């Protein structure tokens, strides 16, 4: 079992590598793919999050929706003119880049950097159920913790 490293000290050289599960935000707020975009925008705003997993009726991960997707819709005339009739599925990104809780932080950072994304959806053992989100903010907090005494 990995232990969280205190933000007040550097981890010992023999400490286990930190994982996605150590720093992810658990129990993510999700939105259904058939939900109206206005509802999704409200969820992002009210919960002060920048993106969230999109699920189907059974709760399986099918996409991800971010504030950037909504801003892109606002900036694109043909999308903005259709806003009231658009559902989350019309703007979500799929397929989704995922991680499991045992993935190392370096591996997660490399995956996010290569794909130019700001979050990975952490999935359970079934590879379909969102159990967490790891964002660039989570990685930055982990970096600060690792180098608190530098």
The confidence score (pLDDT) of residue 15 equals 54
The number of helices, as runs of H, and strands, as runs of E, in the chain is: 7, 7
Q: Where are the domains of the chain?
A: 20-146
Which is more confidently placed, 66 or 2? 66
Which is more confidently placed, 120 or 8? 120
Q: How far apart are CA 120 and CA 98, in angstroms?
A: 5
Q: Is 1 a residue whose pLDDT tops 50?
A: no
The CATH topology of domain 20-146 is CBS-domain (3.10.580)
Q: How far apart are CA 6 and CA 19, in angstroms?
A: 14
The confidence score (pLDDT) of residue 148 equals 63
What tens digit of pLDDT does each residue of 57-81 get? 999 999 999 999 999 999 988 888 8
């Amino acid at each position: 079992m990995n232990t969280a490293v205190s933000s007040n000290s550097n981890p010992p050289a023999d400490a286990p590598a930190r994982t996605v599960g150590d720093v992810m935000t658990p129990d993510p707020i999700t939105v259904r793919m058939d939900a109206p975009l206005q509802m999704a925008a409200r969820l992002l705003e009210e919960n002060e999050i920048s993106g969230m997993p999109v699920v189907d009726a059974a709760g399986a991960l099918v996409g991800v929706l971010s504030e950037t997707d909504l801003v892109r819709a606002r900036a694109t005339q043909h999308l903005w003119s259709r806003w009231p009739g658009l559902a989350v599925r019309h703007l979500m990104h799929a397929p989704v880049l995922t991680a499991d809780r045992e993935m190392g932080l370096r591996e997660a950072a490399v995956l996010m950097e290569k794909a130019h994304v700001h979050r990975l959806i952490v999935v359970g053992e079934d590879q379909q159920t969102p159990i967490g989100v790891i964002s660039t903010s989570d990685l930055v907090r982990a970096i600060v913790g690792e180098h608190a005494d530098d």
